Structure 1
Amino acid sequence: MVSSRSVDLDELRALLGEWRNGSGSLAERLAAAVEQAIERGELLQTWRLPAERSIAEELGVGRSTVVRSMEVLAARGIVHRVQGAGSFITGKRSSPRTASLPPGLRSKYQMGEYTGPGIIAATVPSSADLPADALTVTASELLDASPDGEPPGSGYHLAGLAGTRRAISAMLTAHGLPTGPNAVIVTTGATQSLSLVFDQALAPGDVVVVESPTFPPTLDLLRRAGVQVVSVRTGDAAVDTEGLAKVALKARAKMAVVTATCNVATGHSVTSEDRRALVRIAEAGVTVVDDCTLADYHPMPQPRPLAAMSDQRSIITVGSFNKIYWGGLRMGWIRSHPTLVPSLVRTKAKTDTGSSVPSQLILAKLLRHHDTIADLRRLQVQRRAAATRDFIGRELPDWIIEGPGHGPAMWIRLPVRDSAEFVAFAYQQGTAVGYGGMYRSDGRASQHIRLTLTSGDDEVARGVADLKAAWSAFPDRRRTRKGNAR
């Protein structure tokens, strides 16, 4: 847990930087600079800011300016002012922006229900183009033996069927992460994998560093765990691993959660050289969780997973087959140091006595075709991405597509201050698209939308056309100039 300390004036001045630049009153600019330092993980929960009079003298502004800026931060729940004691960082963030979304769409985000019209916020591939022979389970396989001749027995296999664990470990080894079956736990997907890791490794009050944007379920699980989430923004490139490492060590973080290969929103991947900073903090004792859920969408050859760079107990890798095979499969995995598997299995046993045997048998068969399926999925989303880029460039020139074009989604910046209003408007017009603010670990508003590419070619083309129609009908007064969008 973060220990309380006082921030000295020299440190605060350095953290605020050129805070006078920007728009709004001096008080608003000062409040924004403090908030940005909190977002970067440079000002942490329970830390006390200098006295308002001292801040005013140090910055060369009136005391009333500093008082007003603290009032703004207090109203946002970012600082807590104590009479006679000072202002303390609360570590709280605004709840993810759902207030502007219509009830139907807001409930889908809150309840995790991703069904609706048009392009969905989190669609997954269809099973239609998977090998048909791999999608069947015979009575003999189910009741007598798995594909490699091992009886499933009672069906209660906490870590997963031995044959399925072998198949997963073989796939990981072939992709550059040497893994034995005793290092693998079969789960229902990345969400369960992360839930087990968080339940086993974290306690309320622990500090967890998370890149932003990231998977919304990851954020939900961390909030439920009662930890302090420190956000490190990725900007226009992959996450700054050196900056993340500094934040993690300074904050005495218990864990860092990263998507080193194929960020869920931008599609960016951390370079091999930059991954070393993440390995270093693992060697320093920070548990590093490498979420490889979308790694198969990265063009071959893929970057080496973090765990392949160092055999550290504190590097845990998780993944899912639901995003690359089919959502209805409900299969994922945890790869950890073998010495950690028993404790993770005990945690799993509290709520789940074993993943579905039929699904595991099907997974073992699908894994024989893994590279072929992954190649197909990459080609599908690349084709849809190219068509969507052409359409947006021609029909929606003020929309900016960010990221390298990897992954099953596109991260698009709109010329508005907050895309929530457009997401709500588009939904009312009959199409649903992902709201960027749901992917931000700092809970702030976002100019971005996330457009998924895992539906069929015609569905994606139709959805983009529907978004264009919605944008054309979107009231002009809600737009900002492209140059002012940030």
Structure 2
Amino acid sequence: MSSRRHGSQSLQRLLGHWQETASRIPLWRQLASALRLLILDGRLALDSRLPGERELAAVLNVSRTTVASALAQLREEGYLESRQGSGSRVILPEHIHRVPTRTSTSMALDLSTAALSAGPEIHQAYHQALCAMPQHLLSSGYLPQGLLSLRETIAGHYCERGLPTHPDEIMVVNGAVSGLALILRLLTGPGDRVVVDHPTYPLAIAAIQGASCRPVGVSLPEQGWDTAGLVATIAQTSPRMAYLMPDFHNPTGRCMDDATRQTVADIAAKTRTTLVVDETMVNLWFDAPPPPPLPCYNADAPIIMLGSAGKSFWGGLRLGWVRASSRTIAALVQTRDTFDLGSPVLEQLATAWLIENAATFLPERRQQLARRRALCGELMRTHFPEWTFSQPAGGLSFWVELPDTLATQFATHAESAGIQLGTGTRFGLAGAFDRFLRMPFTHPDDTLRAAFSTLQPLWDGLRFQTGVGKMRKII
């Protein structure tokens, strides 16, 4: 099967404002840096092919020599592979695949990922899981719906939050994104539209596009959600489903209030639009827990819930779940045959222990995140007074607005200094949100301080080059 080919217009949108006219850096090096960032950022998919040199030069309004030099540099660095008559294919250099040690002076600091490292409770959970493992070794281990004991634990957790749930209404999957892909396989077909918040979680966009569906964004206003826009979009596009993240939304960190949840649930019930609600951040609140789950507001609304152990506990568990009607769960179990045969038993046992004992360690985890949130906000006010951001009520990151469309350029500079940034374009459709960065506060204090000290002169240099000097008030 031939690999996907990026159109020149699509690549132009992804590149955004990549040229720095006041810079002394040669244009071909600027283009190489911008393309390298797209590859490292995941926006140029591995194995995809770039447009030809002549076509790319025409759409970017540069010489073919500039394009050829940039592509040659990326080939030399191991980011592209070219064959006569086949164009350039996106790859990763071999050294990228190796995990550097903490003592490595060339190790990149990843500020593009918002996730915590494992706490001591993870080791304890696996110890308990190994002790419980022998009784399961006599079975085949293939459990397409998931271990009953874990489903009972997850169902009990929903009941505690005010949503009566039976174990038959739970299915264990290999992470929330895997659950979303499974739901898309069941409910959608090629060309179907899926409504999403705009911005939204980038892997959700990838899953929707991977299912050959078309994501349709409903822009988020300054605060809250645009329910009138949701109604209008559903009426105009007749989507097969909508994907929402009401609890400490990724990337904005906002939490949907009671009134909005009622309105959204009523919209779903009236239009019969299936809502897929991602609750992966639901346990990461700081001041107060979020309102009850969305299905509590209208029993007639077709709502499927996605949960995950990754953000609350540890990403290495790679375990999530789907909460839906028992009929939908049965259909998902049948559909799963095209994906896998079930989730690992050991991880399921460990996750069950973590959920059952969450009250003993999650409060401390939330307090740690709240302290890091405060430090990260203080550092941004000190080092980058032009940046605008709101304090998130929960989650793992800030959504930062820059004074101009500089995110991609800034990330290119940061990448050259060994720091990877999450540009806003990752969270938008068609290259939107180049004014934004997602800034995680999950790293230790010393790491955050060192990162911002490194980034400040890069930002000041970019601001000088582009003439951005207007100070903006921090919310």
Q: Taking structure 2 as the reference length, what is the TM-score of the superposition? A: 0.76
Distance 1:174 1:469, change over 3 A: farther
Letter in 1 for 2:41: Y
Distance 1:140 1:271, change over 3 A: closer
Aligned match of 2:384 in 388, 396, 403? 396
Residue 63 of structure 1 corresponds to none
Residue 109 of structure 1 corresponds to 41
Residue 246 of structure 1 corresponds to 232
Secondary structure in structure 2 of the residue aligned to 1:176: coil
Distance 2:174 2:366 in 1: 23
Secondary structure in structure 1 of the residue aligned to 2:186: helix
Are the counterparts in 2 of residues 260 and 270 from structure 1 also a CA contact under 8 Å? yes
- Output the aligned Cα RMSD: 2.8
Report percent identity of matched pairs: 26
Distance 2:129 2:469 in 1: 61
Query: How many Å apart are 1:169 and its aligned residue?
Result: 1.2
Are the counterparts in 1 of residues 422 and 437 from structure 2 also a CA contact under 8 Å? yes
Secondary structure in structure 2 of the residue aligned to 1:303: coil
Distance 1:334 1:152, change over 3 A: farther
Residue 342 of structure 1 corresponds to 330
Q: Does 1:474 align with 2:406?
A: no
Distance 1:269 1:321, change over 3 A: same
Distance 1:272 1:173 in 2: 18
Query: How many Å apart are 1:401 and its aligned residue?
Result: 1.4
Residue 163 of structure 2 corresponds to 177
What stretches of structure 1 move > 4 A for 4+ residues in a row? Answer: 92-104, 111-116, 137-140
Residue 74 of structure 2 corresponds to none
Q: Does 1:286 align with 2:286?
A: no
Secondary structure in structure 2 of the residue aligned to 1:274: helix
Distance 1:173 1:105, change over 3 A: farther
Aligned match of 1:378 in 366, 377, 380? 366
Q: After superposition, give the CA deviation of every residue in 1:235-273 in whole Å (9 maximum; x if it has no partner).
A: 321221232122112322221111111111111111110
Distance 1:282 1:235 in 2: 20
Query: How many Å apart are 1:453 and its aligned residue?
Result: 1.6
Letter in 2 for 1:264: N
Distance 2:284 2:470 in 1: 31
Query: How many Å apart are 1:471 and its aligned residue?
Result: 1.4
Query: How many Å apart are 1:355 and its aligned residue?
Result: 0.3
Distance 1:369 1:152, change over 3 A: farther
Distance 1:378 1:140, change over 3 A: closer
Distance 2:461 2:138 in 1: 57
Q: After superposition, give the CA deviation of every residue in 1:256-293 in whole Å (9 maximum; x if it has no partner).
A: 11111111111111111011222123212101111111
Query: How many Å apart are 1:335 and its aligned residue?
Result: 0.5
Distance 1:410 1:140, change over 3 A: closer
Distance 2:133 2:235 in 1: 49
Unaligned runs of 5+ in 2: 1-7, 19-30, 47-95, 100-106
Secondary structure in structure 1 of the residue aligned to 2:41: helix
Distance 2:245 2:130 in 1: 39
Letter in 2 for 1:298: W
Q: Taking structure 1 as the reference length, what is the TM-score of the superposition? A: 0.74
Q: Does 1:325 align with 2:313?
A: yes
Distance 2:40 2:228 in 1: 36
Q: After superposition, give the CA deviation of every residue in 1:59-85 in whole Å (9 maximum; x if it has no partner).
A: xxxxxxxxxxxxxxxx968xxxxxxxx
Are the counterparts in 2 of residues 119 and 459 from structure 1 also a CA contact under 8 Å? no
Are the counterparts in 1 of residues 276 and 303 from structure 2 also a CA contact under 8 Å? yes
Query: How many Å apart are 1:103 and its aligned residue?
Result: 5.0
Q: How does 1:59-458 map to 2 (within 5 A)?
A: 94-95=13-14, 102=34, 104-110=36-42, 117-130=108-121, 132-137=123-128, 141-145=132-136, 153-283=139-269, 284-299=271-286, 300-312=288-300, 314-458=302-446
Query: How many Å apart are 1:483 and its aligned residue?
Result: 7.3
Are the counterparts in 2 of residues 265 and 409 from structure 1 also a CA contact under 8 Å? yes
Comparing 365-374 with 446-455, greater Cα deviation is found at 365-374
Q: After superposition, give the CA deviation of every residue in 1:189-247 in whole Å (9 maximum; x if it has no partner).
A: 11101111111111122221111111101101111222222211113212212321221
Query: How many Å apart are 1:307 and its aligned residue?
Result: 1.5
Residue 103 of structure 2 corresponds to none
Letter in 1 for 2:278: D
Distance 1:268 1:152, change over 3 A: farther
Distance 1:160 1:279, change over 3 A: same
Comparing 453-462 with 258-267, greater Cα deviation is found at 453-462
Query: How many Å apart are 1:167 and its aligned residue?
Result: 1.1
Query: How many Å apart are 1:446 and its aligned residue?
Result: 1.7
Distance 2:127 2:467 in 1: 51
Distance 2:159 2:138 in 1: 24
Distance 2:294 2:328 in 1: 17
Distance 1:97 1:194 in 2: 29
Letter in 2 for 1:359: E
Distance 1:162 1:464, change over 3 A: same
Q: After superposition, give the CA deviation of every residue in 1:137-159 in whole Å (9 maximum; x if it has no partner).
A: 565522324xxxxx771110001
Letter in 2 for 1:108: L
Secondary structure in structure 1 of the residue aligned to 2:133: helix
Query: How many Å apart are 1:476 and its aligned residue?
Result: 1.4
Residue 460 of structure 1 corresponds to 448
Distance 1:372 1:138, change over 3 A: closer
Secondary structure in structure 2 of the residue aligned to 1:209: strand
Distance 2:405 2:116 in 1: 32
Q: After superposition, give the CA deviation of every residue in 1:298-347 in whole Å (9 maximum; x if it has no partner).
A: 34331111122223462001021111111111111111111100111112
Distance 1:185 1:96 in 2: 40
Are the counterparts in 2 of residues 222 and 229 from structure 1 also a CA contact under 8 Å? yes
Letter in 2 for 1:274: T
Distance 1:477 1:131, change over 3 A: closer
Query: How many Å apart are 1:415 and its aligned residue?
Result: 1.8
Distance 1:138 1:251 in 2: 47
Are the counterparts in 2 of residues 275 and 306 from structure 1 also a CA contact under 8 Å? yes
Distance 1:179 1:235, change over 3 A: same
Letter in 1 for 2:273: V
Distance 2:138 2:112 in 1: 37
Distance 1:216 1:139, change over 3 A: closer
Letter in 1 for 2:168: N
Are the counterparts in 1 of residues 295 and 301 from structure 2 also a CA contact under 8 Å? no
Letter in 2 for 1:187: V
